[in-house]
Chains A and B, each alone.
Chain A
Amino acid sequence: MFYRETGQFKTSYAADQQIFPIRQDRVGVILLLLVAFIVVPLVAGSYWFNAILIPFLIFALAALGLNILTGYAGQLSLGSAAFMAVGAYAAYNFQVRVEGMPILVSFLLGGLTAAGVGILFGLPSLRIKGFYLAVATLAAQFFIVWCLTKFPYLSNYSSSGVISVPGVEMAGFTFDTPQSRYLLVLSIVTVLALLAKNMVRSTTGRAWMAVRDMDVAAEVIGIRLMHTKLLAFAVSSFYCGVAGALYAFLYLGSVEPDGFSLDLSFKILFMIIVGGVGSILGSFLGAAFILLLPIFLDISLPWLSELLHLPFDGATVSHIQLMIFGALIMFFLIVEPHGLARLWQIGKEKLRLWPFPH
């Protein structure tokens, strides 16, 4: 009823090939963007910006990067956080060392540096597959973090190895309020997400999916494996790198190599699993879920223990939080292995016929 494409006829190739071929999708996306760009800045408070919306967008971008690599090209990686670190440190160095460097160019260069490093660590994927590759990406994770710790040049000779980023300025405007930071992050993420959406339905994206489904078969039908796999690593690392730069410049303000730990890599991996492997929308849904769940538990558990008169102290609450988090991950994988994006898909299909399902 509400989501029906009957009657929407395409009369040109351009119309048939647009990103959102169904009118309801187009309207929905435009509405969503309007809300994100106009309504949210008007109503949200500083807690929402600083602690939820900005990290949500940044993590969604990183998850998007990993989803391109794992969900579309089928290469499992446990090193996303390291590529974020590369992006963050590269952007910092460009910003600090080159006088008058525009901040957006720094972000871009940060992403490109990460892409270069990504290609380097993607090389083994040509020979190694599956879990062996996953464990091999851990080499990237540990090696990169170690390098950032060990070469004082990279942290501009900070005695502790922690970098503290300069303020973000663009054409004389300083991004110091939560709103302005949020809008900057939102703009960058929107552009990159639309780009990704477009990329995965292009020749490149289809080649990735062919490689994911079976690389030997893909090779047989004439897809260049090396080119395709390395491109996936490069694009994925670019996204993670930009996310890392945003993480350092617009979210935390100061980062240390240890902050980009294996835990962070896992967190990003969780996001795409919960959200939906091989789905752009899923990256956003997953990021929201993984980010909000601990906050929700943190707030609701003490309240619950109060309500039920359970003898919980602070530590118990923290332990139970961890257990619920783990249990929910397993629950999700059991109940809906294709993630939240799949639920959305099912919802759309229901809406198509609703309220007359027969």
Chain B
Amino acid sequence: MINKFKQLAIAASVAAACLGATLPSAYAAEEQFFMLPSYRVGPYGANGQSFYGGFIDYLQYVNMKGGIDGVQITWEECETEYNNAKGVECYERMKAKAQKAPGPIHTMSTGISYALVDKATADKLPLAMMGYGLTSAVDGSVFPWAFPLVTTYQMQASAIIKFMKDKNGGSLAGKKIVHLYHDSAYGKEPILALQAESKLNKFELIEIPVAHPGNEQGAQWQRIRQEKPDYVILWGWGVMNMTALKTAQKMGFPRDKMIGSWWAGSEEDVIPAGDAAKGYMSATWNVSGKAVPLIADIEKTVYGGGKGNLKDTSKLGTILYNRGVSAAVLSVEAIRAAQAKYGKGKAMGPDQVRWGLENLNITEARLKALGATGLLPDVKTSCDNHEGSGKVKMQQWDGAKWVPLTDWIEGNKALIHPLFKADAAKFAKEKGITPRDCSKEK
């Protein structure tokens, strides 16, 4: 009986958490509202599940620790199914609620980010796109409200090349590298960067697209077998990743010559491939595991208190879960930064949160204070640089877990950042935007 009652109580609290934000809460004076256009069904639902689970768990954790200097966080989810139009609907539905004191908006979808960038700018709401597009928003002078925080596809591609170079004694001249990519905006974004790298480092680049959804790659891998490349860069998403690993095994291509992007490097991508994934490497901007004190503490505090978002606790500490936590950490830190300037213990308005995102300075020391040492790289943003880090780590799948191989590797900023500038300038011209003068921003 008591047990049943407890279950009901948990159920009600979960439901209340889902609904919490929709109820008028006059008693809580200061609240910061996070809108979460999330996805938990459809082809990428498994990925969304872990990411948003981690994200919400951290928000819950902050609340249980007393909020952001007393400011409680509320949030509301809305299912987008990774569909642009649905994402827009979710955004429009929740935006009125977010106008007063918003959290950065995470869509975890390049397409939805593209669709929202104009709207968010017009509505003055901050958009965060950690590790996905629109990547030219690195240039904050054209995109004041959009933040591709931590790192971008282009910088990641550059970092992967750097890693290969280090492995090959500092030179890639004469090598052959295949870029096997999902034939969409996501897979195409790094191409320009890879081409620039190929020119600089004198390796041969072969681009092989895979049609969506990528559950059949026989022809592509036969071509790879024929070309005999030194490395294959895998820029896949969803089912394409395990199919690539399985087909590589079938064609006898060594997996330790395959390096994935960070959306091709989670447990969801390798576990279904079984033994075929052993030795496969990928980039990542956050580490996995519960060794990070923060993750362990979330498990203890949030799940111990029966307020966890995930039913399946085995997801805790996975790459995507930790990525959700990392994204939430940065969002909350941005609000803290804003509070430090505009007044502690107050809910921050959109402009103030935007300022916080633009003036983030997450040092090693700060990460340590959060218990997140090594979880993600240090981040320092500015008007010029909405990316703030550009660093990734390489990790390798040993058959049971992701093992970090390197320290943080920074891409070739001098080569890549001008690409963003050029892209942003073109965007500004098409849209008739006059860029801000970053030297005047403080």
Contact = CB atoms under 8 A, between A and B. Distances in A.
Direct contact between A and B judged by beta carbons closer than 8 A: yes
Contacts of B81: 318
B10 A159 contact: no
A51 B432 contact: no
Interface of A: 45-47, 50-52, 55, 96, 146, 149, 156, 159-162, 164, 166-167, 176, 251-256, 258-259, 263, 294-295, 298, 302-303, 305-306, 309-315, 317-319, 321-322
A55 B189 contact: no
Contacts of B432: 166-167
13 contacts: A50-B88, A52-B89, A160-B133, A160-B185, A164-B117, A167-B432, A252-B85, A258-B184, A306-B12, A311-B11, A312-B14, A312-B18, A314-B77
Interface in B362-389: none
A315 B92 contact: no
B118 A254 contact: yes
B54 interface: no
A161 B18 CA distance: 36
Most buried by B among A46, A50, A314, A317: A314
Interface stretch (B38-46, B219-227, B281-289): B38-46
Given A258-B185, A311-B14, 20 more contacts: A46-B92, A164-B117, A164-B118, A166-B430, A251-B88, A252-B85, A252-B115, A253-B115, A255-B115, A259-B111, A302-B19, A305-B15, A306-B16, A309-B15, A311-B7, A312-B11, A313-B14, A314-B77, A314-B309, A321-B41
Nearest to B18: A302
B423 A159 contact: yes
B84 A259 contact: yes
B212 interface: yes
What 5 A-B pairs are tightest by C-beta distance, nearest first? A311-B11, A51-B92, A160-B185, A315-B40, A306-B15
B111 A322 contact: no
Interface string B1-38: 00000011011101110110010000000000000001
A164 B189 contact: no
Interface string B218-254: 0000000000000000000000000000000000000
A62 to B, nearest CB: 12
Contacts of B114: 162, 164, 254, 256
Nearest to B429: A166
B102 to A, nearest CB: 16
A295 B88 CA distance: 12
A167 B111 CA distance: 19
Contacts of B192: 159
Contacts of A167: 431-432
Interface residues of B, number: 58
Nearest to A311: B11
A315 B77 CA distance: 10
A96 B83 contact: no
Contact of A252 (B12, B49, B77, B84): B84
A306 B92 contact: no
B79 interface: yes
B329 interface: no
Contacts of B92: 46-47, 50-51
A164 B41 CA distance: 28
Given A161-B185, A254-B115, A315 B12 contact: no
B118 to A, nearest CB: 5
A47 B95 contact: yes
Interface of B: 7-8, 10-12, 14-16, 18-19, 22, 38-41, 45, 49, 52, 77-79, 81, 83-86, 88-89, 92-93, 95-96, 110-111, 114-115, 117-119, 122, 133, 183-185, 188-189, 191-192, 211-212, 309-311, 423, 427, 430-432
B309 A51 contact: no
B115 to A, nearest CB: 5
A309 B12 contact: yes
Contacts of B93: 47, 51, 295
Tell me if B's interface is mostly helix, strand, loop or mixed: helix
Most buried by A among B16, B40, B117, B423: B40
Given A47-B93, A160-B185, A309 B16 contact: no
B184 A315 contact: no
B188 A55 contact: no
A322 B81 CA distance: 10
Contacts of A46: 92, 96
A355 to B, nearest CB: 41
B185 A256 contact: yes
Nearest to A157: B426
A318 B211 contact: no
Nearest to B133: A160
B186 to A, nearest CB: 8
Contacts of B119: 50, 253
Contacts of A309: 8, 11-12, 15
Contacts of A314: 18, 38, 40, 52, 77, 79, 309
A278 B17 CA distance: 45
A164 B122 contact: no
A249 to B, nearest CB: 12
Contact of B191 (A51, A159, A258): A159
Contacts of A252: 84-85, 88, 115
Contacts of B189: 159-160
Contacts of A161: 184-185, 188
Given A252-B85, A258-B111, A314-B38, A164 B96 contact: no
B423 A312 contact: no
B427 A164 contact: yes
A48 to B, nearest CB: 9
Contacts of B83: 263
A307 to B, nearest CB: 9
A313 B12 contact: no
A253 B77 CA distance: 23
A166 B433 CA distance: 10
A162 B40 contact: no
